[in-house]
């Protein structure tokens, strides 16, 4: 069937109408006429795939990646990077304005590198080949390299014949010094070509979470702060945009005294701001991350921080100290009810909410706005060419 794209949704999909229902079409642009077919039918909406672009948008370009539209990793390679950033600005503004939370323009800080930026990749290994599953299926798509991961990771992918195992899972991380940390999960024996370690800067290799070569971590430096990062610990995936994000958080916490850092990871944000405040208290559920955070404080000779292991919702009410500022960087699912209730009870002067999921962010904001007002909203393009965008919202107590 033929349809015309009349608007865009908050995931960057084109919207049209068919059979008296709204129809979502990925990788389409405003004003385009397309031929498509329905792939999923729900009670109130349809999802589809494009068969042919009949009338292309002036913004449309030829995607450079041969796997685009198949692997499910990228969403916006059919437009220029500059246009994809504009689309994310419009997406954020639409999400906030439709919920009457923020009516001003929202800018998105562009990444210095739009390709080869990602410092982590998770792949399937099937029959000695690397790849992904097609979106929402278990159909395997073999790949040779990925245009959005760092070159140091791609070099490992191109040299995968050096690995002996044929089936399993592979996670590769890299730091800005191009040192890689390789984490393999498999039921098979694993060995490596003798010259593999001469061809690559390998910080460590883990097999089934046991370190078999080097160290189970590497080091990364951001704005003068040194971090040890283990294979299990969260760390921002875009080295260039994370530097800008850290600078921004440092700037907006310049007048803080006691800071509560929830979902603190390896101490990422807390150690960035520690020298500007009286004390930082971090909470994190991943044990390796807390161990990293404690070591990172020592590495950077920072003594005015403390880190606590456990779920935020379980520990947050047990912290005796009073806080004037809270930094939140929760998972994509957002904040839980107990933690939100704690914030509304304690009423810190300022809340800095960092989110990789604008939908759960605005859901939580609606609960917080009974006591808080939004001072600013800013986007950071942590994930170029994907529909995802990092968002920083600053709240002030009314």
Q: Is the pLDDT of residue 136 over 80?
A: no
pLDDT tens-digit series, residues 260-295 = 999 999 999 999 999 999 999 999 999 999 999 999
Q: What is the value of pTM for the model shown?
A: 0.94
CA dihedral 388, 72, 68, 21 (to 10 degrees): -80
Exposed e or buried b per residue across 203-225, where buried means at least 16 C-beta atoms within 10 angstroms of its C-beta:
bbbbbeeebeebbbbbbbebeeb
- pLDDT given at position 345: 92
pLDDT tens-digit series, residues 350-397 = 999 999 999 999 999 999 999 999 999 999 999 999 999 999 999 999
pLDDT tens-digit series, residues 86-120 = 999 999 999 999 999 999 999 999 999 999 999 99
- pLDDT given at position 320: 79
Question: Is 286:264 a contact under the CB 8 Å cutoff?
Answer: no
pLDDT band at 321 (very low <50, low <70, confident <90, very high): confident
- pLDDT given at position 202: 96
Mean pLDDT, rounded, of the chain: 95
pLDDT tens-digit series, residues 232-270 = 888 999 999 999 999 999 999 989 999 999 999 999 999
Question: Is 235:226 a contact under the CB 8 Å cutoff?
Answer: no
Tokens 């460590």 appear where?
204
- pLDDT given at position 254: 87
The strands making up 33-41's β-sheet, listed across from edge to edge, are 2-4, 33-41, 45-55, 21-25, 14-18, 7-8
Give the rounded percent of residues in the chain with a pLDDT score beyond 70.
100
Q: 237 to each of 153, 154, 219, 241, 390, how far by Cα in Å? A: 13, 15, 14, 9, 11
Q: Which domains does the chain have, with CATH numbers?
A: 1-60 (2.40.50.140), 98-112+236-397 (3.40.50.150), 120-218 (2.40.50.1070)
pLDDT tens-digit series, residues 175-208 = 999 999 999 999 999 998 889 999 999 999 999 9
pLDDT tens-digit series, residues 207-218 = 999 999 999 999
Question: Is 263:327 a contact under the CB 8 Å cutoff?
Answer: no
Our CA angle for 379, 236, 272, nearest 5°, is 85
């Amino acid at each position: 069937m033929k349809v015309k794209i009349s608007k865009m949704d908050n995931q960057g999909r084109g919207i049209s109408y068919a059979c008296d229902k709204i129809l979502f079409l990925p990788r389409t642009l405003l004003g385009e006429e397309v031929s498509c077919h329905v792939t999923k039918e729900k009670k109130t909406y349809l999802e589809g795939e494009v068969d042919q672009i009949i009338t292309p948008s002036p913004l449309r370009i030829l995607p450079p990646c041969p796997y685009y539209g198949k692997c499910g990793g990228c969403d916006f390679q059919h437009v220029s990077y500059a246009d994809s950033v504009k689309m994310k600005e419009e997406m954020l503004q639409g999400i906030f304005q439709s919920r009457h939370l923020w009516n001003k323009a929202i800018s998105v800080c562009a990444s210095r590198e739009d390709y080869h930026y990602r410092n982590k990749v998770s792949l399937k290994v099937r029959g000695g080949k690397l790849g992904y599953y097609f979106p929402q299926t278990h159909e395997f798509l073999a790949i040779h390299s990925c245009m959005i991961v760092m070159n140091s990771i791609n070099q490992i992918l191109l040299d995968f014949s050096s690995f002996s195992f044929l089936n399993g899972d592979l996670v590769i991380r890299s730091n800005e010094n191009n040192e890689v940390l390789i984490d393999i999960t498999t039921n098979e024996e694993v060995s490596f070509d003798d010259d593999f370690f001469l061809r690559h800067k390998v910080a460590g290799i883990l097999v089934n979470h046991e370190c078999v070569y080097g160290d189970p971590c590497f080091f990364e430096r951001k704005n003068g702060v040194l971090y040890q990062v283990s294979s299990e610990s969260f760390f921002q995936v875009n080295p260039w945009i994370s530097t800008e994000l850290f600078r921004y958080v440092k700037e907006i916490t310049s007048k803080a005294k006691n800071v509560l850092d929830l979902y603190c990871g390896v101490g990422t944000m807390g150690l960035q701001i520690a020298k500007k405040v009286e004390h930082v208290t971090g909470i994190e559920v991943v044990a390796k991350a807390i161990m990293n955070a404690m070591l990172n404080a020592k590495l950077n000779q920072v003594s005015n921080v403390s880190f606590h292991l456990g779920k935020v919702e379980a520990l947050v009410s047990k912290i005796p100290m009073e806080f004037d500022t809270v930094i939140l960087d929760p998972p994509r699912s957002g904040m839980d009810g107990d933690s939100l209730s704690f914030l509304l009870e304690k009423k810190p002067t300022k809340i800095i909410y960092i989110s990789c999921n604008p939908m759960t962010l605005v859901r939580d904001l609606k609960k917080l706005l009974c006591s808080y007002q939004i001072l600013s909203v800013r986007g950071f393009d942590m994930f170029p060419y994907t529909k995802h965008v990092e968002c920083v919202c600053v709240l002030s107590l009314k």
